[in-house]
Structure 1
């Protein structure tokens, strides 16, 4: 559960920084709005592939943005 909470905070923060709705964010990373909703509500983990895609789209260093994947 802790990981989901961290994931939810990271996704929400990114959406807020870019002033995006869940639908806009979903479109930008190629997932459904329902998936984004589940991420931000902590009902689904963000898979490694999605982390890499999000990092790529938003110019993030995935190792810094999501360090748990490095371990």
Structure 2
């Protein structure tokens, strides 16, 4: 992943740790290796949240444009 993303091992580890703390990825350790996978349930929840936000913020922003 480091080579594909063009980042160092420490930077990748930091970002994976952050994603894990946010609940977006899961990890399991086997020996000295840690395997990561997406937490799809959290991605569905995030997608719903963003869709709701987008819908409500468009209403808010469009009404604010009507008033100078």
The normalised TM-score by structure 1 is: 0.29
TM value normalised by structure 2: 0.30
State the structure with more CA Rg. 2
Structure with the bigger percentage of strand? 2
